[in-house]
Amino acid sequence: MPETQYHHHGRFRVAGGVIPDAITAYKTYGSQENPCIVFPTCYGGKLDDSGLLDQEYMIGEDKALNPKEYFIVTFALFSNGESSSPSNTPAPYNGPYFPAVSYEDNIRAQYTVLQKLGIKKVHMVIGFSMGGQQAYYWPVMYPDFIEKYVCICGSARTSPHNQCFLEGPKAALVASKDFDNGHYKTTPQHGVRAFGRVYSAWAYGQTWFREHQYLHGGTYADLGTFLREEWELGFLNGWDANDLLTLLHTWQTGDVSMIRDNGDLHKCLSQIKAKGLIMPSKTDLYFPPEDSENEVAAMPNTARLVVIDSVWGHMAGGGSNTRDDQFIQAEVKKFLEGVKTKL
């Protein structure tokens, strides 16, 4: 596994103010002589294996993102605990004083890193969930820099339905007796555990719970064990409460059409020049396929819709099971076929 690298931007303006010494964490795989693929993190994702999801489930010689064929750059979102975040930024912007950050801020920072690395063009941007939302931002913000993009279980705009869901785990954390308005001295156990439980019900499709009985092949004795070990522990391990909230705000306020078209999503998407592969999960409760269908309708000549026929809900796109993972990898490999732009 390559080591995490850190780019220091210096004073960096973001949606909610400024970060005096902003840092973007990233990793690279393969040779810079090969076409570049950008693969940013999702909510709960980290570059190493300490998050709910690492970035290597799609990277490997036998996978879609082959470091023998491509130069792959993975980026950590601001507020994920690796790039600049409430948990690692010194006063006066530490903890609850950390400014709000947008997707646009993240993409500007990532673009700066790619410029430093000498990348002249990106062959493809690919991402899952929040990573998929970032994939939409790239061809809008840098239309001549991006050739292809893949959005897996994401959207170009966070829908009101999605925003409403996010208010649930947010309220559970903020209202907890140990959160202390973000000024906690130790991990707010009550709040983070409640956050994980509220989040859990939306992660999988309803059919998944019927078919799997939350046992993962006998791993968990009952629903309570599943919630405690899979979701409470998942957020307690390596996640800071203020980081979770700031990152949630980035997700909640996502809308690529606000960059240049004043909220006209159809107009914004219709102007994208890069080729797109949009892959929603049939049973996703965060980013339902109907949203993706509406988005692709605005891009009939540049984007293709491929629905993941899965009972795994949102988690179908994150390497959670072999069947869906193989389907996604095969579609991405097909999308990558053709002329590869050398740098």
* Residues taking part in catalysis: 129, 284, 314
Instruction: Tell which residue, 313, 326, 271, has the closest CA to residue 143.
Output: 271
**How far is it, in rounded angstroms, from Cα 16 to Cα 122?**
29
**How far is it, in rounded angstroms, from Cα 46 to Cα 1?**
13
**How far is it, in rounded angstroms, from Cα 25 to Cα 5?**
6
Contact, 236 vs 69, CB < 8 A?
Answer: no
Helix (H, G, I), strand (E, B) or coil at 236: helix
- Which residue has tokens 């293709």? 304
- By the 10 Å C-beta count (0-12 exposed, 13-18 middle, 19+ buried), 26 is classed as buried
- Per-residue b or e along 249-268, where b marks 16 or more CB atoms closer than 10 Å to that residue's CB: bbbebbbbbbeebeeebeeb
Contact, 201 vs 168, CB < 8 A?
Answer: no
Strands 146-152 and 275-279: what pairing?
A: parallel
Which secondary-structure segment (H or E) carries 112?
helix 103-116
Backbone CA torsion sign across 338, 339, 342, 343: negative
**How far is it, in rounded angstroms, from Cα 67 to Cα 163?**
36
